Amino acid sequence: MPAPSGLPGNSRTLRAHRRRPLTALALTLAAATLLTGCFAGTGTGTGAGADTGARSGPGSAGADGRLRVAMMQPPRSGLSPLTDDAFKLSRWSTAETLVRLDRDGNAEPALATDWRQTGPTWTFTLRDDVTFHDGTPLTAEAVVRSLTTAAKASPKPRILDGVTLTARATGPRTVTVTTGTADPLVPQRLSSPQLSILAAKAYRGRTVNPVGAGTGPFVLVRAEGTASATLDRYDAYWGGRAKAAGIDVRYVPDGTARAAALRAGEADIVEAVPVSQARLLDPELVTEVPMPRTNTLYLNTRTGPFRDPALRAAAREAVDARALVAGVYEGRADVAGGLLGPALPWAAELRAPVRRPHAPAAPRGATVTIGTFTDRAELPEVAQLLQQQLEKAGFTVKLDVREYAAIEADALAGKFDAFVLSRATVLDSGDPAAYLYSDFAGDGSFNIAQLADPAVDRALAAATGTATGDSRRRAVIAAEAAVLATDAAVPMLHERVIQGDAAHVVDAAHDPRERELVTVDTHVR
């Protein structure tokens, strides 16, 4: 497997590569060479209902009915469902939740068949034909164990930011979930992959181990750290037999190598194809979907130069988002009008101009450090262009670029003056209030901007407590405006999902929320 990529060259060099397709193609083929054999013979044949036999190489794609998937980011927390690793479990269809979301973000049945609200309490009725991958049945006690573990975790899943939640079994197949105050979003919260329901075996010791403990159509049979994962078909799945025999996952942080794997026949499904590589692929193999993901410059409001709101305003004024979209994303992105993008069309309809109380001040050479990560191939170049834009405005700018796993803790601890982040805005609940709270509330668990603003907290509390519908949407836009008025975050652009599927892949999911990838229907011809 290839080593993760380091910081790309300067912007001029990168643009020159785009003008020389043959050079880029040579790099792509070289990366493909490094991947050869990574997916060969990875099926275990040991999972419930798994087909036997090993894949014999690139020319035999689909011969054993298994899917080879190249994923961008390796696990950061041992595939714990209490972290962002939960979204891998969801994309592999191995761990499931009580509720799932439809395309419009409405809650619909999953492991729970129905639910009803009485004040701050919701009662959920469970399916009666579900077994975990270890053969044990889904029970109310199992659901309570999973939800209680999540509610008591430190840090707890961000979908529970600002929420006190308790779960209790009220019958063999009924569970009540009670929050500190009446919460209209409980069903949507319970759709978060971070609240997946796992078997008792997953909760031994201090960690949560999902291997062999889910309920989905694929059982996770082996997790090899940050290198790979292997899943086999689970024939006893309550939703019907999966069409694929299994999934062989490799983590490939290098975007060029991921694209090369698709070109060389070394992968069947490739997530997060870099913009610079998309044009080198057969257009028939690339799917592009607008997504609720915003590329944002977070400014540290607690320490460093950006404690001064006037300097934050100066940074905002210096950012030229159109140049980023044209130069880095080659037009495959949308200039941001706010934190919420075109994947939520109602946001633009409700948004009004933001009133900002502070005028920009001259930076006078103020030195700032911008952090970002290499896992998303465009971000290092975004940081480089931002460096040029801010220096033109009078700042002195340093860059710190690493893999995400090596930089996240420092970002959350406020060790950067600014941080460039590609952030999904409805990832957890299908509702942006959870993202806004997590990122900008004083006690938010992902508050990279270190923001602690009473007006913002009040607006976020109002949005969180408003019933679903138009009123909630207006409250969400009011909260967005309160955040933008502080200049703690400078939304730059809204990204699109660029996914590569081999020609023989059928029914791979193209999910703008990045919850689904391989489903019960996905298979190879």
Tens-digit pLDDT profile for the chain (525 aa)? 333 333 333 332 333 333 333 344 444 444 444 454 556 544 444 444 333 333 333 334 555 899 999 999 999 999 999 999 999 999 999 999 999 998 777 899 999 999 999 999 999 999 999 999 999 999 999 999 999 999 999 888 988 888 899 999 999 999 999 999 998 889 999 999 999 999 999 999 889 999 999 999 999 999 999 999 999 999 999 999 999 999 999 999 999 999 999 999 999 999 999 988 998 999 999 999 888 999 999 999 999 999 999 999 999 999 999 999 999 999 999 999 999 998 888 999 999 999 999 999 999 999 999 999 998 889 999 999 999 999 999 999 999 999 999 999 999 999 999 999 999 898 677 789 989 999 999 999 999 999 999 999 999 999 988 888 889 999 999 999 999 999 999 999 999 989 999 999 999 999 988 899 999 999 999
Domain with residues 11-92+216-268+502-524, CATH architecture: 3-Layer(aba) Sandwich (3.40)
| H-helix segments, 58-107 | 86-91
Residue whose C-alpha is closest to residue 69's, from 521, 519, 429, 517? 517
- How many degrees, rounded to 5, is the angle at CA 102 between CA 100 and CA 106? 85
Strands 367-373 and 418-424: parallel
Domain ranges within the chain, ordered by starting residue: 11-92+216-268+502-524, 99-203, 290-496
How many Å apart are CA 223 and CA 210, to the nearest integer?
9
End-to-end CA distance of the chain: 26
Residue whose C-alpha is closest to residue 312's, from 330, 325, 321, 299? 299
Question: What confidence score (pLDDT) does residue 63 get?
Answer: 57
CA 108 vs CA 113, 188, 240, 486: distances in Å: 8, 9, 18, 37
| H-helix segments, 74-222 | 86-91, 140-152, 186-189
How many Å apart are CA 293 and CA 423, to the nearest integer?
5
Fold of domain 290-496: Dipeptide-binding Protein; domain 3 (3.10.105)
The C-alpha R_g of the chain, in whole angstroms, comes to 23
Burial of 131 (0-12, 13-18, 19+ CB in 10 A): middle
Question: What confidence score (pLDDT) does residue 427 get?
Answer: 62
Within 10 A of 30 (CB to CB), how many other CB atoms are there?
Answer: 13
Return the bridge partners of 250, or none: 70, 228
- Displacement of CA 325 from its chain's centroid (Å): 21
| H-helix segments, 394-443 | 404-412, 432-440
DSSP state of 131: B
pTM, rounded to two decimals: 0.72
Sequence letter at residue 266: E
Return the bridge partners of 309, or none: none
Fold of domain 99-203: Dipeptide-binding Protein; domain 1 (3.90.76)
Sequence letter at residue 229: A
Question: What confidence score (pLDDT) does residue 39 get?
Answer: 62
Residue whose C-alpha is closest to residue 133's, from 55, 8, 72, 222? 222
